């Protein structure tokens, strides 16, 4: 008999899939690491088990405990999967720009969802960081993983995502491309691939226009799960060799193309990462192997970037014609 002991054991070992159509004009091989094959539908499933194990070991979380976390959705799903197996309650604070579909998913897994406004400073008492801090103080036995500072995030990618890419490319990967949210994915995966290749693999970060990582003025943007307005401890910028800045319009147009042309129904941060990957790959020789990580499934965005009315209302083209913001790239 061949079966998993629990759904949590199915995390990781996601496949690499070659991109064949959006790559027109690129000589290098571009491979997508499709993280929606994780049981909770995103790369964030990878960090949840390690974070909860460490909290239990350190006595921060015990029987009857509650996990409180500000999350745009995916970390919540990962944590909820593990928490329900171990009998913990989950309360997630979600920014109001996160699609209702994604909030409904968290509730479906048994979590409680508190919605907080996006358009306020992090220090504002209404911000999703402040609200989660208040809940931690108020709920007895509450534990906040704080994915932005928790080193078990990058460590999980160092232990799983990096080795999987190295193994599945037989050590031929030359570039690794990922969007930066907490920075855990690029930091952990990048660090592993640098070590495995004696510094040869080039690490390419991708950032939304308006986020802090790529410089330029910090302001709001629509793509979810990536970019920040502060520097989190989970991100180690010294791992990154180059950073590309991509607009919402480009991210959404590419995300729609990935569904129509590659059969990959993924979220907006995946489209963003692919735009960055193609920019990095444009001038590379044919023997280069570029791996780009696609963090989550597109099903959570059907009423947003896959909806033509939503796209038009927010000023985006639905025919895929957008201005290239590569001029912004550093
Ligand atoms: N894309 C999506 C949709 C995400 O939820 C996240 C996690 N916040 C990321 C990308 C970025 O991953 P990381 O936090 O590891 O940088």
Question: What interface predicted TM-score (ipTM) does this complex get?
Answer: 0.98
* Ligand 1 atom nearest residue 235's Cα: 16
> Per-residue pLDDT tens for 107-131?
999 999 999 998 888 889 998 889 9
Q: Which residue in the block uniquely carries the two structure tokens 């309360």?
A: 91
Which is higher by pLDDT, 321 or 133? 133
Q: Are 104 and 307 in contact (CB under 8 A)?
A: no
Instruction: Indicate which residue's Cα is closest to atom 2 of ligand 1.
Output: 225
**Ligand 1 atom at minimum distance from 224 CA:** 3
The rounded Å distance from CA 2 to ligand 1 centre is 32
Ligand 1 mean position, distance from CA 143 (Å): 21
Report which protein residue has its CA nearest ligand 1's atom 1: 225
Q: Does 298 sit in the ligand 1 pocket, CB within 6 Å?
A: no
Q: Using one digit for the tens of pLDDT, what is the confidence trace for 163-217?
A: 999 999 999 999 999 999 999 999 999 999 999 999 999 999 999 999 999 998 9
CB 227 within 8 A of CB 181: yes
Residue nearest to atom 3 of ligand 1 (CA): 225
- 8 Å CB contact between 91 and 107: no
Q: Which residues pair with 95 in a beta bridge?
A: 116
pLDDT number for residue 327: 55
Does pLDDT of 95 surpass 80? yes
Residues labelled as active-site residues:
44
**Residues sharing a CB contact under 8 Å with residue 43, sequence separation 6 or more, in sequence order:** 35, 74, 157, 161, 185, 293, 295, 296
H-run or E-run covering 81: helix 74-86
What atom of ligand 1 comes closest to residue 267's alpha carbon?
Answer: 3
What is the rounded CA–CA span in Å between residue 92 and residue 77? Answer: 10
pLDDT band at 137 (very low <50, low <70, confident <90, very high): very high
Which of residues 266 and 70 earns the better pLDDT score?
A: 266
Strands 29-34 and 16-18: antiparallel
Strand duo 202-208 + 175-179: pairing: parallel
* Spatial distance between the Cα atoms of 260 and 205, rounded to a whole number of angstroms: 25
Which of 276, 279, 220, 234 is closest to 251 using CA atoms? 276
Helix (H) or strand (E) holding 162: helix 162-168
Q: Which residue, chain included where needed, has tokens 């704080």?
A: 146
For ligand 1, whether the C-beta of 224 sits within 6 Å is yes
Distance CA 127, CA 100 (A): 18
The pLDDT mean for the chain works out to: 94
Per the CB < 8 A criterion, the answer to whether 308 and 48 are in contact is: no
Question: Per-residue pLDDT tens for 22-50?
Answer: 999 999 999 999 999 999 999 999 999 99
Q: Whose CA is nearest to atom 12 of ligand 1?
A: 181
| CA of residue 195 to ligand 1 center, whole Å | 23
Please name which of 41, 33, 30 lies closest in space to residue 13, comparing C-alpha atoms: 33
DSSP 264-319: --B-HHHHHHHHHHHHHHTT--TT-EEEEEE-BBGGGGTTTTT-HHHHHHTT--SS
- Rg of the chain on CA atoms, in Å: 19
Mean pLDDT on 256-264: 98
DSSP 3-state of 92: strand
- What secondary structure letter does DSSP report for 19? -
Share of the chain above pLDDT 70, in %: 98
323 C-alpha to center of ligand 1: Å? 25
pLDDT at 111: 96
pLDDT tens track for 299-308: 989 999 999 9
Q: What is the mean pLDDT of residues 290-312?
A: 96
Q: How far apart are CA 330 and CA 326, in angstroms?
A: 9
pLDDT for the residue 330? 45
Please tell me the distance from the alpha carbon of residue 310 to that of residue 120, in angstroms, as a whole number.
23
- The C-alpha atoms of residue 71 and residue 61 are separated, in whole angstroms, by 19
- Mean per-residue pLDDT for 143-162? 97
User: Which residues contact residue 22 at a Cβ distance below 8 angstroms, ignoring those fewer than 6 apart?
Assistant: 254, 257, 258, 261, 262, 274, 278
For ligand 1, atom 5, which residue shows the shortest CA distance? Answer: 225
């Amino acid at each position: 008999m061949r079966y998993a002991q629990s759904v949590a054991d199915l995390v990781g070992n996601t496949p690499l899939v070659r991109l064949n159509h959006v790559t027109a004009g690129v000589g290098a091989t571009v491979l997508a690491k499709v993280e929606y094959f994780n049981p909770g539908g995103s790369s964030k499933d990878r960090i949840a088990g390690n974070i909860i194990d460490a909290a239990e070991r350190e006595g921060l979380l015990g029987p009857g405990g509650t996990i409180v976390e500000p999350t745009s959705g995916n970390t919540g799903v990962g944590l909820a999967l593990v928490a329900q197996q171990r009998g913990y309650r989950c309360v997630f604070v979600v920014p109001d720009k996160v699609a209702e579909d994604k909030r409904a998913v968290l509730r479906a897994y048994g979590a409680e969802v508190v919605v907080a406004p996006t358009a306020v400073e992090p220090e504002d008492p209404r911000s999703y960081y402040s609200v989660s801090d208040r809940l931690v103080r108020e709920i007895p036995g509450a534990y906040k993983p704080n994915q932005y500072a928790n080193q078990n995030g990058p460590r999980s990618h160092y232990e799983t995502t990096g080795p999987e890419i190295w193994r599945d490319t037989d050590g031929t990967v030359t570039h690794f491309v990922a969007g930066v949210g907490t920075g855990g994915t690029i930091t952990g995966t990048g660090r592993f691939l640098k070590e495995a290749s004696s510094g040869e693999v080039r690490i390419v970060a991708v950032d939304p226009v308006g986020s802090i990582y790529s410089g330029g003025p910090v302001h709001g943007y629509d793509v979810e799960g990536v970019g920040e307005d502060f520097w989190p401890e989970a991100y180690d910028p010294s791992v990154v060799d180059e950073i590309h800045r991509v607009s919402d319009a480009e991210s959404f147009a590419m995300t729609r193309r990935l569904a129509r042309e590659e059969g990959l129904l993924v979220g907006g941060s995946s489209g963003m990462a692919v735009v960055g990957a193609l920019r990095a790959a444009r001038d590379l020789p044919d023997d280069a192997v570029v791996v780009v990580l696609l963090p989550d499934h597109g099903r959570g965005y059907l009423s947003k970037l896959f909806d033509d009315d939503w796209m038009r209302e927010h000023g985006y083209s639905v025919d895929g014609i957008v201005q290239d913001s590569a001029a912004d790239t550093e």
